[in-house]
Amino acid sequence: MKGNKWYWLLSTVLLLSLFLAACSGGDDEQTKGEGEETSEEGTDENTGEDNPTQGGTITYAIDSEPEGILNIHYYGTATDADVLGFMVESLIDYDENLEPQPNLASWETEDNKTYTFTFEEGVKWHDGDELTVNDWVFALETIAHPDYEGPRYANVQTIEGAEAFNKGEAESISGLEVVDDYTINVTFDEARVNNLVNVWSYPMHEEYWKDVPVKDMLEHEKTRMKPMGTGPFKIGNVVPGESYEYIANEDYWKGAPNLDKVIVKVIDNKAVTGALQNGEVDMVPVHPTMGKDVEAMENVDLVTYPGLSYYYVGFKFGKFDNEKKEIVEKNEKYADLKLRQAMYHAINREEWVEAFFGGYGTPVNAPVPSSHWIAADNDDLKNHYEYDPEKAKALLDEAGYEDTDGDGFREDPKGEKFVVNFAHYSSTNPTFEARAKALTQYWNEIGLQTELQMMESSLYYDSIEKDKKGIEVFFGGWSTGADPDPSALWKSDQLWNLPRWENEKSDQLLEDALNVEVVGTDKEKRKAIYTEWQQLTNEELPMLYIAELEEIMGINQRVGGVEYDVSGANNANEWYIKE
């Protein structure tokens, strides 16, 4: 890794200069007006290495099959979102701290209840029509329509009058007040700090869709083969489940893309390294276990950027009743905090991440990925749970877990046999079982007898969600989004609070952080509450936070202008092919 630091510095400087050059270049192009061809101009004006060449095609691969729902209002998987990312745009964008930034629209609010959105003028749909606020109203009313079959209603529900519209009691959503083609006032049902990041922020081309009844939209050809957007690329040919052709949108409002085409191609994950090496794909997400192989390739750059997911080992503290929305039964087996601390200290997380994720990850001590703006500084967290088997053993001794029958394993404080039943999901990936085994060995070493159960993954999540018998200690991962609110995974009335952890202080803090009366519009105040919450979870250990992972992309060196931060890639119109 020594040599890499220098290399990273260099490439960061290079990327930065590219970015700056691209920015200023973009301004130039905007002032030039629409009629001109963009291809020649760029090359004449700029000199030196960071001059984006015009034209060319790159192949962007994804290693799992998309569902093929090419309509942002209906998509359900991250893979479909990847494919759509080249052609649709959101009203708001996120910066490297995941704070919202104006994109197609900017906004103002005084009270977090009523927002005024101002749209960019002159943004064109791929068919040449202009984007107006009516397209957004159309999107919101489609999603709130009783016949809508997609999963996004939760993002519209909070607008005043959306419920009435959804039940068919109103002709329109009363909270949407169109001022003119570029201005709209949106009123939410109550003031919330996360109204903005929660609301559905993609417009839908009204003119293009208005003749299609909402109930037919999902299966419609326009969803499957002919999607419509405002983004830097427009759709060309589609071979369902296999490849998608994107053609440069020369009228793109941020400046025409440098590339002529992007081909998005589905490939089998076994072919990822070979295809990268061979130059048959230019960009592809790489699994951490293959990271080292890709790093060794001479023609490919490995780009890592902070991820938004973390892995954990959870404990079942009880059972959840989904009807009553509360935790109804308690499981005392892992209730002793010292036991959990001991299990935490027993794990050598650095070693484990190095062994099973090629080192592309960092241990975390609280359940928030460190690149998020609400993440507590590691120094603010009291415990860092370093690898310390001696301390772990001492903690177990203190708690009364001692080996009384001399079999080498500890018994519980009552003197009865104690076995940690640890569950992990299985797949065709052979490292899964190895990494689970490694964890059981750490615990065996401090005298806790551990048994591993590998379960097929859909059965696994089903069993965990339903608190099935036999699930006690389980391995899992969560990914978080732009909205920092962890309530859905942590509040005691939530189905996805999988450990069934009930803590009044935690619930209170999570509520306060969303309460306008407590935090107002002050970000720092909100962050302070989340920090307090993370300190609580750091001490109480409802789960053992293992590590956050980096996202890894393999990018062929012939591709330039690509940048990644925690919010994903930069705009694809800045990508180009080096000479």
Partner 1 sequence: MLKYTIRRILAIVPMLFLISVVVFFLALAMPGDALSGEIDPNNSDPEYIEMMREKLGYNDPIHVQYYRWITDFIQGDFGTSVKYKMPVEDLIAQRLPNTIFLGIISLLFTYLFAFAMGMYAGKKPYTKIDHAIGGFNYLMLAIPIYIAGVFAIYLFSFKLGWFPFSGSVDIALTEGTAEWWLSRLYHVILPALVLGAMGTASYTQFLRNDIIDNSQKDYVRTARAKGTPESRIYNQHILRNSVIPLITFLGFDIVTIVNGALITETIFTYPGLGQLFLTSMQTNDYPTLMTLALMFSFLVLIGNLIADLLYGIVDPRIRVE
Residues found near partner 1 in the complex (CB under 8 A): 65, 67-69, 74, 76-78, 149, 151, 153-154, 218-219, 224, 236-245, 261, 263, 265-268, 270-271, 274-275, 277-278, 280, 322, 456-459, 461-462, 465, 478-481, 488-489, 494-496
Burial of 428-441, coded b for 16+ CB within 10 Å and e otherwise, reads eeeebeebbebbbe
CB 265 to partner 1: min, Å: 7
From residue 166, give the alpha-carbon distance in Å to each of 147, 148, 160, 462: 9, 9, 11, 30
Question: HSE-up of 274 (CA within 13 Å, CB side)?
Answer: 5
Least Å from the CB of residue 349 to partner 1:
24
Query: What CA–CA distance (Å, rounded) separates 279 from 59?
Result: 9
| Residues 6 or more apart in contact with residue 57 via CB below 8 angstroms | 259, 260, 261, 262, 263
Q: How far is the CB of 191 from partner 1 (least distance, A)?
A: 21
| Residue keyed to tokens 């039943």 | 421
Nearer to partner 1, 299 or 521 (CB): 299
Query: Smallest distance from the beta carbon of 180 to partner 1, in angstroms?
Result: 34
Q: In the complex with partner 1, which residue's Cβ is closer, 124 or 192? A: 192
Q: Smallest distance, Å, CB 290 to partner 1? A: 14
318 versus 447: smaller Cβ distance to partner 1: 318
Dihedral sign from CA coordinates of 176, 181, 182, 183:
negative
Decide whether 8 or 496 has the Cβ nearer to partner 1. Answer: 496
With respect to partner 1, which residue has the nearer C-beta, 497 or 573? Answer: 497
Task: Give min distance, CB of 268 to partner 1, in A.
Answer: 5
For residue 318, the cross-strand partners are: 330
- The CB-of-225 to partner 1 minimum distance in angstroms stands at 11
Q: State which residue, 385 or 475, has the beta carbon closest to partner 1.
A: 475
Exposure class string for 127-150: b at 16+ Cβ within 10 A, else e: eeeebbbebbbbbbbbbbbeebeb
Give the residue carrying structure tokens 């956050």: 548
Q: Which is nearer to partner 1, 68 or 359 (CB)?
A: 68
Q: In the complex, what is the shortest distance from the CB of residue 261 to partner 1, in angstroms, rounded to a whole number?
A: 8
Specify the DSSP element, H or E, that contains 40. Answer: helix 38-45
For partner 1, the closer of residues 119 and 244 by Cβ is 244
* Distance separating alpha carbons of residues 399 and 330, to the nearest angstrom: 20
User: Which residue lies nearer to partner 1 by CB, 106 or 309?
Assistant: 309
The residues near 89 (Cβ < 8 Å, ≥ 6 apart) are 103, 104, 202, 229, 230, 231
Q: How far is CA 55 from CA 105, 262, 443, in A?
A: 29, 11, 56
Smallest gap, in angstroms, from Cβ of residue 557 to partner 1? 18
Q: How far is the CB of 267 from partner 1 (least distance, A)?
A: 5
- Residue 309 near residue 369, CB atoms below 8 Å: yes
480 to 169, 202, 507, 555, 560: CA distances (angstroms): 35, 20, 18, 25, 29
Complex with partner 1: residue 271 or 394, whichever CB lies closer: 271
User: What are the structure tokens assigned to 173, written together?
Assistant: 């959503």
Residue 482, C-beta contacts closer than 8 angstroms, at least 6 positions apart:
94, 98, 100, 197, 567
3 state SS for 380-448: HCCCCCCCCHHHHHHHHHHHCCECCCCCCCCECCCCCECEEEEEEEECCCCHHHHHHHHHHHHHHHCCC
> Whose Cβ is closer to partner 1: residue 51's or residue 166's?
166
Of 285 and 359, which has the nearer Cβ to partner 1? 285
What's the per-residue H, E or C state across 319-361? EEECCCCEEEEECCCCCCHHHHHHHHHCCCHHHHHHHHHCCCE
> Nearest approach, Cβ of 219 to partner 1 (angstroms)?
5
What's the closest the beta carbon of residue 276 comes to partner 1, in angstroms? 10
Nearest distance from C-beta of residue 83 to partner 1, angstroms: 13
Residues 433/422, Cβ–Cβ less than 8 Å: no
Residue whose CB is less far from partner 1, 65 or 181 = 65
**What dihedral angle (degrees, nearest 10) is formed by the CA atoms of 485, 488, 491, 497?**
-130
